[in-house]
Amino acid sequence: MSADGSKTRLPRLRNTSEVLDKHAVFVERHDTLTLRLLPRDIWKRLAMERQKDLSIFQPAFIAPSARRAVLRLSPQAMMGNPVMFVAWLGALVTSVESVRVIATGGEGLVFVLAVTIFLWLTVWFANFAESLAEARGRAQADTLRSARQDVMATKLASADRSAARSEVPGGSLRKGDIVIVEAGGVIPADGEIIEGVASVDESAVTGESAPVIRESGGDRSAVTGGTRVLSDWIIVTVTADPGEAFLDRMISMVEGATRQKTPNEIALTIVLAGFTLAFLLVCVTLYPIGAYFDTRIDVVTLVALLVCLIPTTIGALLSAIGIAGMTRLGASNVVAMSGRAVEAAGDVDVLLLDKTGTITLGNRRATAFVPAAGVDESAVAEGAQLASLADETPEGRSIVVLAKEKHGLRGRDLQQEGARFIPFSAETRMSGVDVQGRKIRKGALEAIRAFIESHAGTLDPGVARAADEIAAAGGTPLVVAEVVNGTARALGVVHLKDIVKGGIRERFAELRKMGIKTVMITGDNPKTAAAIAAEAGVDDFLAEATPEAKLRLIREYQAKGHLVAMTGDGTNDAPALAQADVAVAMQTGTQAAKEAGNMVDLDSNPTKLIDIVGVGKQMLMTRGSLTTFSIANDVAKYFAIIPAIFVVALPQLAPLNIMGLESPRSAILSAVIFNAIVIPALIPIAMRGVEYKPVSADALLRRNLLIYGLGGLIVPFLGIKLIDFAVAGIGLA
């Protein structure tokens, strides 16, 4: 039939081939469920943005970031970062010293100036890293912002369609204002429907192309600003002041405008401040100790030593790492409502995953026909197919497809044969078709048993056994029966099965290696749940899950010292979402769910929980690795600077110059230069995060320790030596 059948909404299906067309669409949808980028509007653009993100030093970001980095050199801006503030003070001191040397015509001006320039560069690089991270976040926010169109709103004087209307700009609406939106109009602000029902295109926010019904009262009364009413009209009371709408909050989170330091970041800042204080102590006390040897250590050298020793590398990149973590999360279309949530994601060790959509493909599919004694398998298939032709459910369609694939059965034009379809009803718990004097029914075992017995027949015990076996194996048995000439008999059983997503088992095995437990949440009975759980390889499952059971489960895990992450979308998920440590609400979900969660997944893809954990872990790993690197660097810097300071008073110290640096001044300057340029060199790692593999903690630690610990010890020896060559070569010192 028509190839454009899929475009018609709820078509009346006439024959099998039409059903098959529909099914093809269905299969395609499900197979691409996780990959599917959103069909239109901003999410496509966001995806492109993601591609662009790979190049960190984008020309568009460089110039503004460079400018911002200069503006941030003000003392108020620097004070928030104790490490860089000390470096900033150091640069200030050497600047004053430069002026003094120039004024007095003292010796060593080139050295003093060179040190001063590189100290300022060190501070500037730090600001640049942060500005760059923010610029990338802002670019993401801009794409979000473009979703918010400034529209005109039709304001009502009272909640009555016939009340006086006035046209006002959408941005001027305040909480409590009442507006009417009619077909074709854009909803001007977040609100609650107080009257009317309408189909709304929410693709601008959710990416879901199918329109949804929104109506007053109940779970579906919330509307989001920026979405479009397709049919009918609604009266909406505005629930957010300008700038406080959901979209606004997401934007400000992504932008980093409301960024607050996360608990671990605060602790790390304290540790870095502690190290800074310790080195301040070392450097300040060197001066009087120098006096004991009648050496006057000049102030530039001391400042250089201090700035080299304090952990400027991690100090410079710390906030960039945090911002970049949020941006990376944003790149996978997840908006975290706080940095704290991202950090907690790294700690999560129990994932509650909804079965449907995460572990299994959307719905059950027919996988086998089990005939009753004396019935041909193709007869079961034929009966099942006939009974399902008008069945719009995915299960029904899959039966039609299986019958075609296995037995080459093509549907007939039943309409012409005067077929009458019997839809599923809660009362009979069966569906089927009456055609040419044949009554064909399919349904649960007990329903069919009752059906057969009502026609004075008996159910073949073999069929009942087969149905039980299927149920025991985690499948759903669908018994098919027919009544021909007043004789009722069971034809056989259709085996409906949940299809576990490809690759998910391996994914869970990886998670297990990382020490993360997966728990499947399903409404199925325990038997079915156990079978699917075994097939998918989850660690545990919660069957016949209710919102209360979910909440209880989360509390149990937390009491045992676990951190729990979950996804949810319904209003009844809200308590569990609020209880979970990391709660990802689906963007398609209700406002209540979104308020209770601490992240929102714009793609509404529950599998993403796994990626979110990855982003959290990567952020923490990056912090730890760069801190380790920064501190390990100090060893080499000591070997460069300490002999250089004292070699004049204590010539015997010359053998400690193990790097064979040209002169004391060249040694000090080289250490300062290395210390400065290592910051931009590490910006890519800070932004992308250190490479992350799903392996055990021990393996991760070994790897990072080798690269950033051992590497941090060795690299500066090479780097400083190389720079020393260059510095001596061009005669800087």
Partner 1 sequence: MMWTLPILVILGCALSSVPLGRYMAWAMNSRGPGLPCRLDAMVARVGGSRCGEDQRWHRYAMSMLVFNAVMFTVVFVILTAQAWLPFNPDAKGNMPADLAYNTAASFTSNTNLQHYSGEQHLSYFSQLFAIMWLQFVSAATGIAGLTALCRGLAGRSALGNFYRDLARATVLVLLPLAAVVAIGLVLCGTPMTLQGSAVATTLEGLTQTISRGPVAAVVAIKQIGTNGGGYFGPNSTHPFENPSLLSNIIENASIILLPMAAVWMFGRIVGSWKQAAVVFAVMGVLYAGLVGTSVITEQAPTAALAGLPVQDAMNLEGKELRFGSSAGALWAISTTATSNGSVNAMHDSLNPLTGMMPMIGMWLNVAFGGVGVGFINMFLYIITGVFIAGMMVGRTPEYLGKKIEAREMKLALLALLAHPLFILGGIAIFAATPWGAATVQEPGPHGLSEIIYEFSSAAANNGSGFEGLGDNTPPWNIATGTVMLLARFIPIILPLAIAGSLASKERLAESAGTFRTDGVLFGVILTGVVLIVGALLFLPLGVLGPIAEHLAVSGGSAGPR
Q: Where are the beta strands (DSSP E) in 564-685?
A: 564-568, 582-586, 599-601
Distance in Å, CB of 696 to partner 1, minimum: 5
Region of 234-242, 244-252, 339-347, 391-399 interacting with partner 1 (CB under 8 A): 339-347
Residue count at the site for partner 1 (CB under 8 A)?
Answer: 79
Do 517 and 508 form a contact (C-beta atoms < 8 A)? no
> Is 692 among the residues that bind partner 1 (CB under 8 A)?
yes
Count of Cβ atoms closer than 10 Å to residue 40 Cβ = 13
> Is 484 among the residues that bind partner 1 (CB under 8 A)?
no
Distance in Å, CB of 731 to partner 1, minimum: 16
Q: Are strands 152-156 and 178-182 parallel, antiparallel or unpaired?
A: antiparallel
**DSSP code, position 705:** I
Residue 192: name the closest of 231, 229, 240 by CA: 240
> Is 663 among the residues that bind partner 1 (CB under 8 A)?
yes
Which of 39, 80, 171, 274: binder of partner 1 (CB under 8 A)? 274
Distance in Å, CB of 124 to partner 1, minimum: 26
> Is 608 among the residues that bind partner 1 (CB under 8 A)?
no
> Helical H runs in 689-710?
697-704
Nearer to partner 1, 638 or 725 (CB): 638
Nearer to partner 1, 483 or 620 (CB): 620
> Is 61 among the residues that bind partner 1 (CB under 8 A)?
no
> Is 270 among the residues that bind partner 1 (CB under 8 A)?
yes
Nearer to partner 1, 256 or 346 (CB): 346
Q: State the DSSP string of 391-423.
A: --SHHHHHHHHHHHHHH------TTTTT-EEE-
Site for partner 1 in 108-137 (CB under 8 A): none
Q: Which residues contact 552 (CB under 8 A, 6 or more apart)?
A: none
- Cα distances from 710 to residues 181, 380, 702, 707, in angstroms, run 64, 68, 11, 6
Site for partner 1 in 618-647 (CB under 8 A): 618, 620-621, 623-625, 627-628, 631-632, 634-635, 638, 642-643, 646-647
Nearer to partner 1, 260 or 458 (CB): 260
Region of 17-25, 184-192, 268-276, 360-368 interacting with partner 1 (CB under 8 A): 268-276
> Is 278 among the residues that bind partner 1 (CB under 8 A)?
yes
* 376 annotated active-site: no
Distance CA 120, CA 673 (A): 11
**DSSP code, position 662:** S
Region of 48-56, 91-99, 345-353, 543-551 interacting with partner 1 (CB under 8 A): 345-353
Question: Which residue among the candidates 21, 177, 201, 354 is catalytic per the annotation?
Answer: 354
Distance in Å, CB of 340 to partner 1, minimum: 10
Tokens of 209: 């192309």
Distance CA 558, CA 422 (A): 49
Site for partner 1 in 513-532 (CB under 8 A): 513-517
Distance in Å, CB of 560 to partner 1, minimum: 5
Region of 155-163, 177-185, 283-291, 586-594 interacting with partner 1 (CB under 8 A): 283-291
- Geometric angle at alpha carbon 601, from 330 and 598, rounded to 5°: 90
Q: 336 in helix, strand or coil?
A: strand
Which of 39, 458, 702, 729: binder of partner 1 (CB under 8 A)? 702
Phi-psi region of 185 (alpha: psi -120 to 50; beta: other; left: phi over 0): beta
Distance in Å, CB of 136 to partner 1, minimum: 22
Distance CA 644, CA 307 (A): 16
> Is 664 among the residues that bind partner 1 (CB under 8 A)?
yes
Region of 77-85, 173-181, 275-283, 354-362 interacting with partner 1 (CB under 8 A): 275-283
Region of 48-56, 278-286, 404-412, 543-551 interacting with partner 1 (CB under 8 A): 278-286
Distance CA 361, CA 574 (A): 24
Do 584 and 601 form a contact (C-beta atoms < 8 A)? yes
Nearer to partner 1, 189 or 700 (CB): 700
Distance CA 129, CA 687 (A): 9
- Cα distances from 403 to residues 20, 368, 496, in angstroms, run 11, 9, 13
Per the listing, tokens 């010359």 go with: 654
Site for partner 1 in 561-580 (CB under 8 A): 561-563
Do 540 and 517 form a contact (C-beta atoms < 8 A)? yes
Nearer to partner 1, 261 or 455 (CB): 261
Quick one: the chain helix, strand, coil %, rounded to 5? 55, 15, 30
> Is 709 among the residues that bind partner 1 (CB under 8 A)?
yes
Per the listing, tokens 């260059």 go with: 726
**Per-residue x/- track, 534-563, partner 1 (CB under 8 A):** --------------------------xxxx
Which of 169, 217, 263, 729: binder of partner 1 (CB under 8 A)? 263
Q: Where are the beta strands (DSSP E) in 90-227?
A: 152-156, 165-169, 178-182, 191-201, 212-215, 222-223
Q: 437 in helix, strand or coil?
A: coil
> Is 421 among the residues that bind partner 1 (CB under 8 A)?
no
Distance in Å, CB of 47 to partner 1, minimum: 26
Which of 18, 53, 134, 343: binder of partner 1 (CB under 8 A)? 343
> Is 658 among the residues that bind partner 1 (CB under 8 A)?
no
Nearer to partner 1, 388 or 628 (CB): 628
Distance CA 366, CA 393 (A): 12
Distance in Å, CB of 489 to partner 1, minimum: 55
Region of 68-76, 123-131, 576-584, 705-713 interacting with partner 1 (CB under 8 A): 705-713
Count of Cβ atoms closer than 10 Å to residue 229 Cβ = 24
**Per-residue x/- track, 186-205, partner 1 (CB under 8 A):** --------------------
Which of 90, 616, 680, 719: binder of partner 1 (CB under 8 A)? 616
Tokens of 49: 């943005």
Distance CA 313, CA 324 (A): 16
**DSSP code, position 163:** S
Distance in Å, CB of 513 to partner 1, minimum: 6
Distance CA 101, CA 460 (A): 106
Region of 195-203, 383-391, 544-552, 661-669 interacting with partner 1 (CB under 8 A): 661-669
Per the listing, tokens 């995806």 go with: 47
Distance in Å, CB of 708 to partner 1, minimum: 7
Q: 363 in helix, strand or coil?
A: strand
Distance in Å, CB of 8 to partner 1, minimum: 50
> Is 185 among the residues that bind partner 1 (CB under 8 A)?
no
Residue 478: name the closest of 383, 412, 361, 544 by CA: 383
Distance in Å, CB of 589 to partner 1, minimum: 28
> Is 352 among the residues that bind partner 1 (CB under 8 A)?
no
> Is 183 among the residues that bind partner 1 (CB under 8 A)?
no
Neighbour-count burial of 511, counting CB atoms closer than 10 A to its CB (0-12 exposed, 13-18 middle, 19+ buried): buried
Do 499 and 365 form a contact (C-beta atoms < 8 A)? yes
Nearer to partner 1, 683 or 700 (CB): 700
Q: Both ends of the chain: CA-CA distance in Å?
A: 85
Which of 208, 347, 510, 611: binder of partner 1 (CB under 8 A)? 347
Region of 61-69, 105-113, 344-352, 388-396 interacting with partner 1 (CB under 8 A): 344-352
Distance in Å, CB of 391 to partner 1, minimum: 45
Site for partner 1 in 285-314 (CB under 8 A): 285-289, 291-293, 309
Residue 190: name the closest of 165, 157, 153 by CA: 153
> Is 509 among the residues that bind partner 1 (CB under 8 A)?
no
Residue numbers annotated as active site: 354
